[in-house]
A and B are shown apart, each in its own frame.
Chain A
Amino acid sequence: MIEFKDVNYIHSNGIPALKEINLSIKPKTINALVGSNGTGKTTLARHINGLLKPTSGNVLVFGKNTKKISVASLSKRIGMVFQNSNHQLFADTVKNEILFGLNNFETDSQIIKTRFEWALNFFDLKKYENTSPLKLSGGEKKRLCIASVLAWNPEVLILDEPTVGQDQVQKGKMLEFISNLNKQGKTIIIISHDLEFLWSLKPNVIVMTKGKIRKTGKIADIFSDDELLNQTCLMRPQLLDLWMKLNIKREPPADITKAADIIRRISGS
């Protein structure tokens, strides 16, 4: 569904940002892009919705080359939530912020109404309907950005650092809706440093270092790789770390209660 073929991208200042990227993202999967700051994750993501075009090589999305289709037509099917909410928000009220994309991509007024109400309520923004987005807290702005994009129901959702500024309860909600969206058939791509958050989603992981793809695989395999962890900015999620130090061969559960049961059993109490 999304294919990178020998993609190189050089910034306008001459600095290469992506080097020989070959990557295939399958429909209906959850994918995580991880790596240090400034390693090319956001640049790669921007190639998916056509905001950036490769300097050499090709990106194919839904079978079409991004060089040959408009960003607007891609945006309807690929929603992107930026890392910095202030770069995304511009309307005078929360209501108009959500309606903007929705009105652009949807004509049926009944659908617009239903989806608008859904986005407002699901993301706990009803009370701010007529408030300026600029008056919201960092966490609320982030929720508004996601709500505005999900309102038009794109097939692929790209989230750049969605958990920054969110507390544990909001993160839990986000986990739930990301897995629900995925179950409904959406393809999810998340850029994140929040490894505990990613661990609960069990995504395919794409590790980037210095503009290259270093390794791809299941999250448990990625985080069991000592050499990889030593050479990158990644750290092992706590439960996996505990399991490995205790030499438990099976993969740790995502759930704390189940993990506690296993610990009780192995310590005979």
Chain B
Amino acid sequence: MKEKSIIKFENFSFRYDSSNEFILKDISLEINKNELVILAGPTGCGKSTLLRSIIGLIPHMHSGEYKGRVIVDQLVVNDVKITDLAKKAGFVFQNPENQIFMFSIERDIAFGLENLATNKTVMRERVDSILSLLEIEHLATKAPHELSDGEKQRAALAGILAMQPKILILDEPTSLLDPKTAINFINIVNDLRKKIGMTVVIVEHRLDLVLEIADKLIILSNGKIIENDSPKQVIHHSKQLIPEIGIPVISRLYRNLAKSNYNFDNAIVTVKEMVKEIRGKRTQ
């Protein structure tokens, strides 16, 4: 039978050695292939721990009490080496400066491949195709410090994509970028996902940038999953959206109107949708 899901948490709990409390509590979750999933929740709710558990930093780098199983593309995280997981899931940090460090961008992109002892010709081809995919050929021979923040974030993404991961994990990738650069970055990721088929798990505080394109919105609170549905469904049905997770202004406006029997055909996550709804009402 062909598996639909690519990431699976089975009754997973984790407690760091340094803490008395479990940071994730009995998580059961399936993320489907090629979906774009937003992970949201207040500071300290366990988002980063969940991401670390997918790429194997937990339990391989952070020790603690580990219960249940995490399965990533048919590998049981606890049973395999972290390097095996690195080929499955790539991780882009909030600050690209933590990630790009070689003398030139193309060397940086090649770095991961060199570590896997990839053949030189294959490596060259792979680097070139990534450069062209992200439209950063002009940056190939530049040093990281010569790049703007938006370019650095794309270069960091390029280094990860060179490993051809099936899963891309992004931890607040746009928090240092200006609004338009942030949208461009998110669009690049989304286009790539469709073009090469990739599952994307993203922690993003600026939900206005991602709600429209995401398949799922997962909300974590106190180490538990309290919502896991399409963004529109969550915006529509969630009884009380926890205030910490920056629901976009337009969706908050929708919830306020819907509460007072203003009839909508659909939940609203963009200004465009709201304009359409209101114009429809006006012409009735």
Contact = CB atoms under 8 A, between A and B. Distances in A.
Contacts of B175: 164-165
A121 B116 CA distance: 51
B262 A269 contact: yes
A12 B197 CA distance: 46
B269 to A, nearest CB: 11
Interface string B223-267: 000000000000000000001111111101100110011110000
B178 to A, nearest CB: 4
A233 interface: yes
A267 B257 CA distance: 11
A167 B181 contact: no
Contact of A169 (B179, B243, B248): B243
A247 to B, nearest CB: 10
A196 B243 contact: no
B61 interface: no
Interface stretch (B6-14, B82-90, B271-279): B271-279
Contacts of A241: 271
A263 interface: yes
Given A38-B148, A256-B249, A267 B179 contact: no
A67 B272 CA distance: 51
B43 A263 contact: no
Contact of B179 (A235, A245, A260, A266): A235
Contact of B246 (A164, A167, A239): A167
A37 B244 contact: no
A259 B250 CA distance: 10
A238 B208 contact: yes
Interface residues of A, number: 38
Contact of A164 (B176, B179, B244, B271): B176
A26 to B, nearest CB: 26
Contacts of A35: 178
Contacts of A114: none
B271 A263 contact: no
Nearest to A164: B175
A154 interface: no
A234 B179 CA distance: 6
Contact of A242 (B44, B178, B245, B275): B275
Contact of B281 (A168, A238, A257, A268): A268
A216 interface: no
A36 B275 CA distance: 29
Interface of B: 42-44, 148-150, 172, 175-183, 205, 208, 243-250, 252-253, 256-257, 260-263, 271, 274-275, 278-279, 281-282
20 contacts: A37-B150, A37-B177, A164-B176, A167-B205, A167-B245, A168-B243, A171-B246, A193-B182, A233-B179, A234-B178, A234-B179, A237-B249, A238-B248, A242-B250, A256-B249, A263-B257, A266-B282, A267-B262, A267-B281, A269-B281
